[in-house]
Amino acid sequence: MERLKIAVQKSGRLSEKSLGLISEAGIKLDNGDRKLISQSSNFPIEILFLRDDDIPQYVADGVADIGIVGENVIWEKKFEIPIVEKLGFAKCRLSLAIAKSIDYTGVQYFNGKKIATSYPNILSKFLTDNNIKAEIHEISGSVEIAPGIGLADSIFDIVSSGSTLISNGLREVEIVVKSEAVICSTKKLSDSKQKILDKLIFRLRAVQKAEKNKYVVLNAPYDKIELIKEIIPGMKSPTVVPLVKEGWCSVHSVLQENDFWEVIDKLQECGAEGILVIPIEKMIV
Ligand code: PRT
Ligand code: ZN
């Protein structure tokens, strides 16, 4: 049987989350140890463990059918491969940063400056788009120490919490792009591989949707049901179960994590009591 070949980062920031998603989708991989290739016994996929920088190339060449990688790597390598799903983890931004003591007045500051980065292509496009002539100094790691040791005036690097910049006396002054982990795909998949991919994405969405939602159970007076229905409409409509206590019922529904506290406040205003909020494992709508 044909197997969908999935390129995953061998070890690094994306590895655990990538394998976690696959496992939450109910896919078992043989041999927990990171070999170079691993197959699943209950789903037609094969995992190739690679350095993240190599993933776009493998996918573009069709050696891997799909890959899980940061968008930043795809952009930097300038591969025009389709992105089939955003995964919402490894979120970061690529930003320009300068010494915090410098008075920054705008992007023109970078004219004539020397910028250290591991992302010369993304930076070069930004500079051209903004009509700035700067010198790009490409280095492969520890970019944030470059200004401190006199190698460059400023840096262009990945930022997530910002604490690395702060501890190196730097300040983020321009966010150039935002990136997250995505599934990229080779241009033409066979019909059978496309079916496997569709099934995989269906499962991943169920897991991700579940993470964004909570199951809520509460007690409320019957005469408030209409109001409560408006607040927590759920997937179709809430389930209402009578309580032994007269005039009261239990309401079961689903609510979104985003507006969680706001919804809880409204429910309490409607007289809801004994509110339980429970995680959902999978959600298929
Ligand atoms: O060995 P391999 O080549 O496979 O891995 P790698 O070392 O090149 O990459 P890795 O594992 O560090 O990162 C993989 C991907 O994670 C990146 O391509 C990004 O898409 C994403 N990502 C998300 C990050 C960060 N957040 C991040 N914070 N990648 C790197 N960082 C580094 C950043 O370079 C800086 O040094 O963390 C530091 C900043 O972090 P904060 O939190 O202090 O701002
Ligand atoms: Zn890398």
Looking at the chain, how many residues does it have? 285
0.75 exceeded by pTM: yes
Residues with CB under 5 A from ligand 2 (ion): 52-53
Gap from CA of 54 to ligand 2 centroid (Å): 8
Between CA 145 and CA 154 the distance in angstroms is: 10
Q: Is 175 found in the same domain as 99?
A: yes
Q: Is 198 found in the same domain as 124?
A: no
Domain that holds residue 147: 92-179
Mean per-residue pLDDT pooled into runs of 10, the chain (285 residues): 95 96 93 79 96 97 98 95 96 98 96 98 98 97 95 97 97 98 96 97 94 94 94 93 96 91 93 95 91
What is the signed CA dihedral for 211, 180, 158, 110, rounded to 10 degrees?
-130
Gap from CA of 77 to ligand 2 centroid (Å): 12
Q: Which two tokens stand for residue 134?
A: 């700067």
pLDDT for residue 30: 86
Q: What is the CATH number for 259? A: 3.30.70.120
Q: Is 168 found in the same domain as 36?
A: no
Ligand 1 contacts (CB < 6 A) are 9, 12-14, 51-53, 70, 72-73, 90, 92, 144, 157-164, 179
Quick one: which atom of ligand 1 is closest to the CA of 157? Answer: 34
pLDDT for residue 258: 85
Q: Does residue 284 fall inside a structural domain?
A: no
Closest alpha carbon to 73 in 91, 88, 53: 53
pLDDT for residue 32: 58
Contact by Cβ (8 Å): 153, 115: yes
Q: Using DSSP bridges, classify how beta strands 154-159 and 114-117 pair: parallel, antiparallel or unpaired.
A: parallel
The two counts, helices (H) then strands (E), for the chain are 8, 15
pLDDT for residue 34: 58
Gap from CA of 18 to ligand 1 centroid (Å): 15
